[in-house]
Structure 1
C-alpha cells in the first residue's frame, strides 16, 4: 500500500504524461499499480484509502495507553517492557518504543483539547509582586542546628529579585521579609501574591481564602492588596516558582551556610549580581527596568510596623521575654507590653515601638541574661535580712555586726535553745560592758563555741593578763642538772673501726 503522498504524485504524473508505463518507470513501480490508483481516484480525484497494517503491539495497546495516562505521559518503554512481557508480549523493544511514542502523542493531543489551558501572564509596571518561601537546609546556632528558610520575591514587570534568610516561617518572619523586599525595591506594588500558609490564609470557604487578620493589618499599613494562589497548585504561582527553584540551584551551597549572617550576606551579593544581568525574557537588566518601574510604586511608610521589626513577644511579670528557649530582661516598666525581638548570630536586640530598649548576647536554651539596670531594686544577694521581733532580739542585734554574725553562725550550727544564748550575751553586756561582749561574740563565732557558758568563759579569758613572753635571743637557763663527761666524735669513729 502506497502512502497518501505517493498516491498524489502518481496521479499528478499520470495527468501530465498520460501513460501508466511512463509513470511506473519514473516512480519505480509496476504500471499495473499506477493504473489501480488512478482508477481508484476516479473522476473526482479522491485518493484510495490507506489501510493500516496490524502491529505486534496492537493486543497490548490498552495496557500501554492506561499506563501512559496514569503516569501523565512520563512512563518509558523500558519500564513498560517488563509489564508487557509478563502479559505475553513477544515483539522487540523497538516496536514497543514506537507504540509508547504514539500513545504519548495521542495523550498530549487529548490534553491540549481537554486539559488545562495555559496563556502568558502579563504584568504592568508597579502592579504585582510575587513572593514565596524556600528551604535552605540547616544552620548552626547557639541553640543547635535549626532549619534555614529564605523569603524570595520578584516584581512582575521588571523581574527584580530579593532574598532574605530566616530561621522561622512564622508571621513575624514573613512581615520582616516583606518589609525587606519593599525597602530593597524602594516602594510598594499594588498587589502582592502569596501562597496559602496559615500565616497568610487561615482557611478557605467555597474556594475563597480567608486572610489572616495580621496580614490584613500589615497590608493596610503598606497599602497593598494581598492575593493568594490556588491551593495545592504550584503552576498558579507564576514567576515566583521559577525564582525559588533558581535560588536553590544557584545560591544555596551544597554544604549549606555556616551562620545566618553569612546566608544574608550571600543573598545580598547574589541579588546584586543577578539583578545586573540581562534577563533572558525581557532582554534587559532588572536593575535598569526597576528605575523605570519605581516611580509607579507606592511610597513607603515613614516607619516599619511593629510586627515587621522582629518576632513579637509579651513581657512577663519577671520583666523578661523568652526567645529561642532563653530568657532576656527588659525595663521593668514594660511588664505586660508587647516587644519585638531581632536576633543575629551573636546578639539579640529588643525593640518597643521602633526604639531599641535592650541588647543582650545570644544565649543557649535554658540560660538567662538579666541586667540590673532594668529593675528598680538591686539584685538579691542571697543573704536574708534579720528582722527582730521581741525586745531581747532588738537589744541583742543592737550590739553590732558581731551579734549579727554570732546569731547567723549559731543558727547554722543548729544550736539548741539559742534564745538563752541571746539572754546570756545581754547579761554579759550589762555586767562587763558592750565592748568586751562584742569581743567575746566575735571569738565565739570564730571558733564555733555556742554552748551554755561559753560566752562567760571567753570573757573571763579576755580579762586575764597574758603571760610575759621570753625573748627569743635569751638562751634557756637550766640549773641543778648533773654534769657528764664529754667525748669528741673522733672517739666514736675509732671505736667503729
Structure 2
C-alpha cells in the first residue's frame, strides 16, 4: 500500500534524525524495509511518490517498436506492429502492444514537433483574404469573401455568387475602398484565379491577378500549401463569419429572402465585430484602423478593368444593352454608369455605390429579341397583362363629384367608356342629382349594378333605384346581351304530336 506525501516526509525525517532504518521505522510506525525503500529512492534522485515500474513482456521488443515508428514517421498502426512482434516470438496481448506503440509515438512526436513563432505583423503591410461557403439564397449557392487586415485585425466580409476572377477583383476593390487604402502585400491561398500552376514548388501567378496588384500598388503573395501558420488569420475570419452568417441548426438564423438581405447582414456583422475589442490587442479593430491608415497606400480613382467589364449607361427604362439584348437593373440607377461582364452563362451588372463596387443584377445570357426583364426591378409597375385598366384621374368639378360617389361610380365610368355610351356627362350629372335626393350609397350601388348588367340607358339608373327600393336584396345579376330574352321558349313544342 502506497504512503501519502505526509507519511513519506515523516519517514524520511525520522531517518535523517536517527541515521538508522530500524530506529526510523520505530519512530514513524512503519516497517524497516519501507524506510529503506523510500531512502533508497530519494538517494537515487527518483520521486519517492512515483511507483516503480515492473518488468513487462514487451520490454525486449521496445527497440524494435521504436524503429518501426521512426521508419513510418509515426504513422504505423498498432495492429500491424503486433502482427510483426508475434512473428518475432512475442506472446503478450495486443493491448500491451497498443500501449507500447502509443508511448513510442508520443516520444517520436515530442522530438519532431513543429516549432512555431508568434507572428508580429507591421502596420500597413499585410491583408489576408480567403473564400468560404455562404448561405443559399433562392436555392442558389453563395460565397463569402473574407478579408483580414493583419495589424489592426479589421475584418471585411462581402457576399458573392461565385469565385471567378472578376468577382475576386471586385471584392478586393470594395474591401480596399472600405478600409480606405492599400497595404503592401495581399496574402491568400492558392486558387486557380491566383496561382495557375506550381513548377518545382514555385507558384506560377495568374497574369491578371499580378496586373491587379500592380494597379492597386500591392504585391500578391500566396501561402504554403497545408501551412496553417501563414493562412490561419484569414481562415479564422472565414470560420467566424460562417458561424454568424450562415443559417444552421446551431445559430437558428432564418433563411435570406434576397441577395440584398445577405449584403446587409454582412455589413451589420462587420460593423459589430470591428467595434468590439479584439482579444489579442484589447482594442477595437476600427480604432486601430484609424492609426494604420497612415501606413496604407492611396487607392487609384478607378477600379481595375477586370473587376468592371464593359461600361454601359442605364436608360430611363432601367435597362442596359449588352450584345443587342436589353437587361433590367434595379430602380435608382437611371442615367448612371454601370459595368457588365460575362461570368459563365450569366451577365453580371456592377455599379459603384458609397462603399465601392456592388453587384446589382445578374441575368442569364439571352439572344437579340429576347430581353431579360425582372418584375422585382419594377415594383412601381405591376406586372399586369395588356390591356390594363385606365388610370382614373378626375380633373373637372363634374368628374370629381361623380367619382366621389364611390367604387360603383368608378366601375360605371370605366364600363361606359368601353361600351361607347353616348351623353355620358349628362348621365353623370343625373346621377349626382339623384344622389343629392336619394342618398350617395344607394346611387353608388345602383351604378355598380348598372355597370355589371351593362345598362347605360337614359332611364336605366332610375329603374334600378326603384327596383332596389321595392324589392328584396339583389342576387345574381344578368347582363343584357343578345343571348338573353324574356320571350318564352319553344321547348314545349318538341314533344307535340309524339
TM-score by length of 1: 0.54
Q: Which residue of 2 aligns with 1:299?
A: 298
1:415-470 deviation digits (Å, cap 9, x = unpaired): xxxxxxxxxxxxxxxxxxxxxxxxxxxxxxxxxxxxxxxxxxxxxxxxxxxxxxxx
Asked whether 1:32 is paired with 2:30, we answer: no
1:455-492 deviation digits (Å, cap 9, x = unpaired): xxxxxxxxxxxxxxxxxxxxxxxxxxxxxxxxxxxxxx
Aligned counterparts of 2:100 and 2:29: Cα–Cα separation in 1: 31
Note closer, same or farther for the CA distance 1:37–1:289 as it changes in structure 2 (3 Å cut). closer
Note closer, same or farther for the CA distance 1:289–1:342 as it changes in structure 2 (3 Å cut). farther
* Structure-to-structure mapping, 1:107-256, within 5 angstroms: 107-140=105-138, 145-254=139-248, 256=255
Q: Using the TM superposition, give the Cα deviation of residue 301 of structure 1 relative to its aligned residue in structure 2, in angstroms.
A: 0.9
Q: Using the TM superposition, give the Cα deviation of residue 63 of structure 1 relative to its aligned residue in structure 2, in angstroms.
A: 9.4
Which stretches in structure 1 are left out of the alignment for 5+ residues? 77-86, 314-318, 331-338, 353-358, 372-497
* Partner SS state of residue 212, structure 2: helix
1:320-353 deviation digits (Å, cap 9, x = unpaired): 747xxx95579xxxxxxxx63399xxx964789x
Which stretch has the larger CA shift, 20-29 or 223-232? 20-29
Aligned counterparts of 2:99 and 2:282: Cα–Cα separation in 1: 36
Which stretches in structure 2 are left out of the alignment for 5+ residues? 79-89, 249-253, 313-319, 329-338, 353-358, 372-498
* Partner SS state of residue 302, structure 1: coil
Asked whether 1:16 is paired with 2:10, we answer: no
* Structure-to-structure mapping, 1:237-386, within 5 angstroms: 237-254=231-248, 256-309=255-308, 321=322, 328=326, 340-341=340-341, 349=349, 363=363, 366=366
Aligned counterparts of 1:206 and 1:178: Cα–Cα separation in 2: 29
Which stretch has the larger CA shift, 26-35 or 127-136? 26-35
* Partner SS state of residue 142, structure 2: strand
Is the 8 Å Cα contact of residues 129 and 189 (structure 1) preserved in structure 2?
yes
1:40-88 deviation digits (Å, cap 9, x = unpaired): 589xx43589751256998999999999x99989x99xxxxxxxxxx99
Note closer, same or farther for the CA distance 1:119–1:2 as it changes in structure 2 (3 Å cut). same
Q: Using the TM superposition, give the Cα deviation of residue 169 of structure 1 relative to its aligned residue in structure 2, in angstroms.
A: 0.5
Note closer, same or farther for the CA distance 1:240–1:104 as it changes in structure 2 (3 Å cut). farther
Q: Using the TM superposition, give the Cα deviation of residue 137 of structure 1 relative to its aligned residue in structure 2, in angstroms.
A: 3.9
* Structure-to-structure mapping, 1:81-92, within 5 angstroms: none
Q: Using the TM superposition, give the Cα deviation of residue 179 of structure 1 relative to its aligned residue in structure 2, in angstroms.
A: 0.7
Q: Using the TM superposition, give the Cα deviation of residue 118 of structure 1 relative to its aligned residue in structure 2, in angstroms.
A: 1.6
Q: Using the TM superposition, give the Cα deviation of residue 107 of structure 1 relative to its aligned residue in structure 2, in angstroms.
A: 3.5
* Partner SS state of residue 146, structure 1: coil
Aligned counterparts of 1:220 and 1:170: Cα–Cα separation in 2: 19
Note closer, same or farther for the CA distance 1:350–1:240 as it changes in structure 2 (3 Å cut). closer
Aligned counterparts of 1:348 and 1:230: Cα–Cα separation in 2: 33
Aligned counterparts of 2:220 and 2:290: Cα–Cα separation in 1: 24
Note closer, same or farther for the CA distance 1:172–1:47 as it changes in structure 2 (3 Å cut). closer
Equivalenced residue count is 330
Q: Using the TM superposition, give the Cα deviation of residue 112 of structure 1 relative to its aligned residue in structure 2, in angstroms.
A: 3.5
Q: Using the TM superposition, give the Cα deviation of residue 171 of structure 1 relative to its aligned residue in structure 2, in angstroms.
A: 0.5
Is the 8 Å Cα contact of residues 152 and 162 (structure 1) preserved in structure 2?
yes
Q: Using the TM superposition, give the Cα deviation of residue 246 of structure 1 relative to its aligned residue in structure 2, in angstroms.
A: 1.0
Is the 8 Å Cα contact of residues 13 and 23 (structure 1) preserved in structure 2?
yes
Is the 8 Å Cα contact of residues 329 and 369 (structure 1) preserved in structure 2?
no
Q: Using the TM superposition, give the Cα deviation of residue 309 of structure 1 relative to its aligned residue in structure 2, in angstroms.
A: 2.4
Note closer, same or farther for the CA distance 1:64–1:248 as it changes in structure 2 (3 Å cut). farther
Q: Using the TM superposition, give the Cα deviation of residue 196 of structure 1 relative to its aligned residue in structure 2, in angstroms.
A: 0.4
* Partner SS state of residue 147, structure 1: coil
Is the 8 Å Cα contact of residues 173 and 310 (structure 1) preserved in structure 2?
no
Is the 8 Å Cα contact of residues 74 and 109 (structure 2) preserved in structure 1?
no
Aligned counterparts of 1:215 and 1:246: Cα–Cα separation in 2: 27
Note closer, same or farther for the CA distance 1:180–1:65 as it changes in structure 2 (3 Å cut). farther
* Partner SS state of residue 134, structure 2: strand
* Partner SS state of residue 263, structure 2: helix
Note closer, same or farther for the CA distance 1:106–1:204 as it changes in structure 2 (3 Å cut). same
Aligned counterparts of 2:73 and 2:137: Cα–Cα separation in 1: 37
Considering only aligned residues, what root-mean-square deviation do their CA atoms show, in Å? Answer: 5.0
Aligned counterparts of 2:206 and 2:36: Cα–Cα separation in 1: 79
Aligned counterparts of 1:238 and 1:205: Cα–Cα separation in 2: 25
Aligned counterparts of 1:173 and 1:153: Cα–Cα separation in 2: 14
Is the 8 Å Cα contact of residues 133 and 151 (structure 1) preserved in structure 2?
yes
Note closer, same or farther for the CA distance 1:112–1:64 as it changes in structure 2 (3 Å cut). closer
Q: Which residue of 1 aligns with 2:419?
A: none
Q: Using the TM superposition, give the Cα deviation of residue 241 of structure 1 relative to its aligned residue in structure 2, in angstroms.
A: 1.2
Q: Using the TM superposition, give the Cα deviation of residue 111 of structure 1 relative to its aligned residue in structure 2, in angstroms.
A: 2.1
Aligned counterparts of 1:321 and 1:71: Cα–Cα separation in 2: 59
Is the 8 Å Cα contact of residues 276 and 287 (structure 1) preserved in structure 2?
yes
Aligned counterparts of 1:16 and 1:124: Cα–Cα separation in 2: 63
Aligned counterparts of 2:27 and 2:45: Cα–Cα separation in 1: 20
* Partner SS state of residue 162, structure 1: strand
